[in-house]
Amino acid sequence: KTCLAVDIGGTKIAAALVKDNVIVTRVQISTPTSKEASALTVALTDLLTPLALEADHVAVASTGIINHGVLTALNPDNLGGLNHFPLHQVISEITQLPVVVINDAQAAAWFEYKALNQAVSDMAFITVSTGVGAGFVQKEILNTGTRGIAGHAGHMLADPNGPICGCGRKGCVESIASGTAIGIAGQSFFGTDCDGETVYQHLLTGDKNAIAIVDRSASTIANLIADLTISLDLDIVVLGGSVGLASGYLARVRTYLERLPNVYVPDVIAASSGADAGLLGVALWAEQNIK
């Protein structure tokens, strides 16, 4: 069977034909910045129509809350303010194929869990990227949540005095630790067009302000890892995303974890797949969940 896997992120949309867990064709576009839902429908139609001809079913991983196939951005800044976008229905109509949809971080968690060869019982995957997302696998089951909210750990409280998050809460993990937040924090030092990558380039030259910003992100993620370990009794945390996998970031997270009581600290490893974890994970998920 050939799966058309789709990964809708805050920055890019990737689509791939996946056969026997291997990507055979992959295409990528920028996520439309328009707040109009129709812009996403048009982009998906152009991207998926040719690929659907070669597929048996469609597996979609998307940023945002996926509640029975309907997408709502928890942090509207990350996805053009999409609210109640009927993702499952739109993609069914475009492709005329069976479709499954889950959250992007949940999909990547499933891939990383399978990559660990099921040698763990309780794991969390955390992505530090445009936003901060997570997915939990507990006792061999991926928690997709009754309403699709499970895993949205990027919106747990990190600092009651922190910045206002795009979701409306003050001081979420995402508002401090994400690539977007790193970029915003850098703007007062490195100019208004500063983004996460700019800060990282300054960090590599030893800039004190850049180091402080990235350390604040890393210590926030370390505390998130401890909080999740306390609540879920985790064996292992897998860290991914463009920031999570950036050079030296995991080492910084480990440094902050070492300062915490031992029982709060699980094994922490780097994701085995970078940009393709969502695509491959949702393709694996579809094998068991397509109807």
Note whether 177 binds ligand BMX by CB under 6 A.
no
40 and 13 in contact (C-beta within 8 Å)? no
| CA 37 to each of CA 6, 104, 150, 255: distance values in angstroms, whole numbers, following the listed order | 17, 19, 24, 43
Closer to Zn ion by Cβ: residue 112 or 174: 174
CA 257 – CA 223 distance, rounded (Å): 7
Report d(CA 184, CA 284) in Å as an integer.
36
165 binds, among Zn ion, ligand BMX, none (CB under 5 to 8 A by kind): Zn ion
Q: If binding is defined by CB under 5 A, does position 225 make contact with Zn ion?
A: no
Q: Which of residues 154-173 bind Zn ion (CB under 5 A)?
A: 155, 165, 167, 169, 172
Write out the binding residues for ligand BMX, residues 127-146 only, by CB under 6 A.
127, 129-133
Pick the stretch among 69-77, 88-96, 183-191, 259-267 that binds ligand BMX (CB under 6 A): 69-77
Binding partner of residue 169 among Zn ion, ligand BMX, none, CB cut-off 5 to 8 Å per kind:
Zn ion
**CB nearer ligand BMX, residue 152 or residue 216:** 152
Say whether residue 152 binds Zn ion (CB under 5 A). no
- Name the residues that contact ligand BMX, by CB under 6 A: 9-10, 63-64, 73-75, 78-79, 103-105, 127, 129-133, 152, 154, 174
What residue ranges bind Zn ion (CB under 5 A)?
A: 155, 165, 167, 169, 172
